[in-house]
Amino acid sequence: MKNRVQALVGAQWGDEGKGRVVDVLARNVDVIVRYQGGANAGHTVIADGKKHVFHLLPSGMLYPNRVCIIGNGVVIDPAQLKSEVDDLSPPPSEIGSRLVISRGAHIVMPYHKKLDVLSEAARSKNSSPIGTTGRGIGPCYVDKFNRVGIRAEDLASPTVLERKLRLNLEEKNPILERVYGEAPADFDEIYATAVEWGEFIAPYLGDSTFEIDSAIRGGKGVLFEGAQGTLLDVDHGTYPFVTSSSCVSGGCCIGGALGPGRIDRVIGVVKAYCTRVGEGPFPTEDRGDIGERLRRSGAEYGATTGRPRRCGWLDLVALDYSVRVNGLDVIALTKLDVLSGLDEIKVCAAYRLGGDAAGATKIFPNSAEKLARAIPEYRTLPSWKEDISGCRRFDDLPRAARDYVGFIEESSSVKVGLIGVGPDREDTIVRDF
Ligand code: GDP
Ligand code: IMO
Ligand code: MG
């Protein structure tokens, strides 16, 4: 089988529809791996009319017999994970053999969430918020890289847990009290909770690197499910308005323990327009009627925080950048149906960065300051009025919709292999995928 090992990433600012594309691909793979991020992610799968939102569990979990792995690069909020496991049917006892949690994954502790919210409030006071999800992601990764983090394996080892937790609170409590004027975190309370988490998590703990390697050696299909999006990547996104992990395809080599040469195919999930949640530059954002229309038709409200998503036209300059930094081999284009019924469709084909005299560029500036000054140059494309949600073959689409797809392929030099024409599992056109 070709494409045995696949990496799937969000090619924009997150919420491209990664969950639903993973769900489609999961029919034909054996193992699905989350490799970065945490419960800041919200991946929606709608199957048989029922909506599932995965924050930590890989989106392949709905298929029986698929092994789902939470890799070392993920930061886990055990309470959130437990509620997702509890929501699953079949009941948790039956998923024991198919959920593997890396012993090396870091744990989001209650003080991480608190510090996330407090530092976000402090930044807001200074008029420079990031708009984080408040899920403790940044502070948890800070501890990981500062080498003081608590890992999944520590929860199942009370003496190690006690030592590490005391060490952490010695540092965190003065920050909570003196910097933020808050009450200190209570050791006994957190320790008792963490021991309970340990009892829950222990049966799932495993060596994810061994599991992944064995699956690949055994000829199984392995899919790495990225969270967030390329432009939220801590290195390659619009820093500092980013998340704290490596969302690009290379992230799966670190967070999933995979040699780069083993990846057969990189899939970029691209929404037919753009959205962003939180702060930061967004050149094609439309704060008027078009933005409102896209938000309404696309139901653009965050799957994790419920915040309205900022909306605007597709940005081909940003997509070109995404193709480069991820090495995209194929695009899964979602939400094409949301564009139906518009009078015209625009796409951003270039930016003007330094006023008219400087000319236009097609090269994405990896600098939030420069991007904030970018003025999009749009091309206007023909629209279509038909409802396309019933289309199941490419040829069923109206001419203008096919041309839109063709325009994206031409501009990005990447084939569009799958098209989403509605949120349900079945609302999919599979071309060459
Ligand atoms: P993710 O974080 O990338 O997995 O995306 P989210 O689940 O946060 O957001 C995508 C939203 O769009 C969800 O509500 C999906 O149900 C919905 N969605 C995905 N693909 C399509 C599509 O092709 N058409 C429509 N109308 N909705 C879609
Ligand atoms: P999925 O996987 C969209 C954004 C937040 C904020 C920034 C930093 O569903 O696509 P964080 O809490 O990570 O420190 O917040 O990143 N963000 C997302 N935006 N989709 C996501 O995940 C996101 N995860 C984080 O809104 O701007
Ligand atoms: Mg999402």
Domain boundaries, the chain: 5-91+208-430, 106-203
The mean of the pLDDT values for the chain is 95
pLDDT, position 335: 98
Mutation choice for ligand 1 from 13, 15, 20, CB with most ligand atoms inside 8 A = 20
pLDDT, position 355: 64
pLDDT digits (tens, 9 = 90+) for 398-409: 999 999 999 999
pLDDT digits (tens, 9 = 90+) for 338-393: 999 999 999 999 999 876 566 899 999 989 999 999 999 999 999 999 999 999 99
Residues framing ligand 2 (Cβ under 6 A): 10, 14-15, 40-43, 130-133, 135, 137-138, 227-229, 232, 243-244, 277-278, 303
Dihedral angle, C-alpha 238, 244, 248, 249, nearest 10 °: 180
For ligand 3, the distance from its centroid to the CA atom of residue 217, given in whole angstroms, is 32
Q: Which residue, among 337, 343, 340, 347, has the nearest Cα to 380 in the 3D structure?
A: 347
Dihedral angle, C-alpha 58, 152, 229, 242, nearest 10 °: 160
The residues near 50 (Cβ < 8 Å, ≥ 6 apart) are none
pLDDT digits (tens, 9 = 90+) for 96-108: 789 999 999 999 9
Q: Return the CATH fold of 106-203.
A: Adenylosuccinate Synthetase, subunit A; domain 2 (1.10.300)
Model confidence at 112: pLDDT above 80: yes
pLDDT confidence band for 91 (50 / 70 / 90): confident
Stretch 35-44: mean pLDDT: 98
Q: Tell me the CATH number for domain 5-91+208-430.
A: 3.90.170.10
Residue 128 structure tokens:
């420079």
